[in-house]
Amino acid sequence: MGEKITKAEWERKAQLTPEQCRITQERGTEPPFTGEYWNEHAEGVYECVCCGQPLFSSAAKFDSGTGWPSFFQPLDRERVTAGPDTSHGMVRTEVTCSRCAAHLGHLFPDGPAPTHARYCVNSASLKLKKRE
């Protein structure tokens, strides 16, 4: 885990696609079953699309049936930050990158053993570094 990273809005817009900006900076979400990684089965590490911090291993990825990439644990709990999200009339736990505060998705308590956690993450907030 590295130092906190902050970038100006113009820097983010130059680095990210409009969809990546909407999701990571404006706390948006992609429609289910549409993101690049919801049905990805390659081995590797999923990094934050904004700062490159390694977040999740493909070994922790599972098919939740929700249409978003789902993980039962991060590579390191200190790489993601969880906090309350009361938007859209719901009470959920938002998950963000601990280095750059990019919105990743949400955390739910209905995942598989051993953690029973489901990190439901937007594909647009991730970049897969495939194992060679």
The catalytic residue positions are: 120
If you count them, how many residues does the chain have? 132
CA distance 4 to 51: 10
Nearest to 103 by CA among 119, 83, 125: 125
Comparing CA positions, the residue from 117, 92, 73, 118 lying closest to residue 27 is 92
Q: What is the largest CA-CA distance in the chain?
A: 43
Query: What's the rounded Cα separation, in Å, for the pair 83 and 66?
Result: 21
